[in-house]
């Protein structure tokens, strides 16, 4: 089973409706009772529901078919068949549900516990009691239930996070995430330590909480598939703000910044027009004057120099996150139309 799955196709099948019953009332001393065959029950529906306890779609990897229960048959004495059990496929918030055949989006389940019905159960057949009429007092037939719908659906996850960490491999993104949240991503001194996105929650003093996504490092040419490519950028498409992370020990911070921006641009999705801040990390490894020179070349006022290792300047991060969130919120307000 893969550790992190963000796209998967599954088959969903609703239950069929139960058959209606053909039955006649029988009782001692009542030799010719009327028809009393009950209706079949409805088939179960299949739903897809967001569950914040989940973080990706890998739990759906083993079973690719999800089937709801069939409706029970009707029976004598006008007893209706039981309804088939509904089935709920759980997915992390941020999962889009698409119909495979048409590509149509059925739902975008962003909120926890939001759900959509993907296939509807069949209708139960009528029992013979239903067909009794002045011209036919003893109908000897009933209806079968209708079949449940069936289709293939594509589940496509785009994580829900407020802030995305973007940087070259080894810049210290995962280290930063581990310092400010309870997330414990793998950290190591080689590139591409992070192979799948990590999520952490930052709790600020005022009681608010933000979700931060740490994604694999980006290298020059990522848009052409180099390194781990750009496909995981889908997980920061929905963030309100981007935190760029640069390694202070590298030459040409300005070039690296440009590189990151141009890769984000080739991905599209408006990632470079989101509010941002630049963290120049690992300042413990470089002397102050060299650092000042490098920073000057960035020509940007939105820079925090810090060390995730020693914690230097890290106390300024919460306020930066908060202001980023505020700008993100303001910019997200719908524009008024004239
Ligand atoms: N000296 C120093 N080392 C740091 C600092 N921050 C991170 N490191 C080290 O840099 C290396 C890379 O850190 P990671 O957090 O794994 O970097 P990353 O950006 O997540 O890397 P990828 O997942 O490969 O993209 C690790 O050995 C960290 O211990 C820092 O401020 N100072
Ligand atoms: Mg990492």
pLDDT beyond 50 at 335: no
As given in the structure block, the two tokens for residue 239 are 């963030």
Ligand 1 surroundings by CB, under 6 angstroms? 167, 169-175, 187-189, 191-194, 216-217, 281-282, 284-285, 307-309
Ligand 1 pocket test target in 184, 187, 233, 307 with most atoms within 8 Å of CB: 187
- The residue contributing the CA closest to ligand 1 atom 12 is 170
The secondary structure of residue 200, as a DSSP letter, is E
| Model confidence, pTM | 0.84
Could you tell me the sign of the dihedral formed by the alpha carbons of 243, 271, 274, 219, in that order? positive
CA pair distance 159, 51, nearest whole angstrom: 12
Beta-bridge partners for 167: 245
Are 148 and 16 within 8 A, CB to CB?
yes
Considering every ligand atom shown, identify the ligand nearest to the alpha carbon of residue 179 and give its number: 1
- CA angle, 284 as apex, 280 and 290 as ends, to 5°? 70
The arithmetic mean of pLDDT across residues 98-112, rounded, is 96
What digits encode the pLDDT tens for the residues 253-298?
999 999 999 999 999 889 999 999 999 999 999 999 999 999 999 9
Three-state SS for 317?
helix
What digits encode the pLDDT tens for the residues 289-329?
999 999 999 999 999 999 999 999 999 999 999 899 888 67
């Amino acid at each position: 089973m893969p550790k992190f799955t963000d796209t998967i196709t599954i088959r969903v099948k609703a239950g069929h409706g139960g058959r209606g019953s053909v039955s006649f009332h029988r009782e001692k001393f009542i030799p010719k009772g009327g028809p009393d065959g009950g209706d079949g029950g409805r088939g179960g529906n299949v739903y897809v529901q967001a569950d914040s306890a989940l973080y990706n779609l890998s739990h759906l990897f083993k079973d690719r078919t999800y089937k709801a229960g069939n409706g029970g048959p009707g029976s004598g004495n006008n007893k209706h068949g039981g309804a088939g059990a509904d089935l709920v496929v759980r997915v992390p918030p941020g999962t889009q549900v698409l119909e495979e055949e048409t590509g149509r989006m059925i739902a975008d389940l962003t909120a926890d516990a939001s759900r959509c019905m993907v296939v509807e159960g069949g209708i139960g057949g009528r029992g013979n009691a239903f067909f009794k009429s002045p011209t036919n007092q003893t109908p000897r037939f009933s209806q079968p239930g209708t079949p449940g719908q069936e289709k293939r659906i594509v589940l496509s996850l785009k994580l829900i996070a407020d802030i995305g960490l973007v940087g070259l491999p080894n810049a210290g993104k995962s280290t930063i995430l581990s310092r400010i949240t309870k997330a414990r991503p793998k950290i190591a001194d080689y590139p591409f330590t992070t192979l799948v996105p990590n999520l952490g929650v930052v709790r600020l003093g005022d009681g608010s909480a933000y979700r931060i996504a740490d994604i694999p490092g980006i290298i020059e040419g990522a848009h052409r598939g180099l390194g781990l490519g750009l496909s995981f950028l889908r997980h920061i498409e929905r963030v309100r703000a981007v935190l760029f992370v640069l390694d202070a020990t590298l030459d040409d911070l300005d070039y690296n910044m440009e590189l990151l921006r141009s890769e984000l641009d080739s991905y599209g999705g408006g990632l470079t027009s989101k509010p941002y801040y630049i963290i120049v990390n690992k300042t413990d490894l470089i002397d102050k004057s060299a650092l000042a020179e490098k920073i000057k070349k960035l020509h940007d006022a939105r820079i925090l120099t810090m060390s995730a290792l020693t914690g230097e300047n890290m106390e300024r991060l919460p306020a930066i996150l908060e202001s980023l969130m505020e700008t993100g919120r303001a910019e997200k307000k719908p524009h008024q139309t004239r």
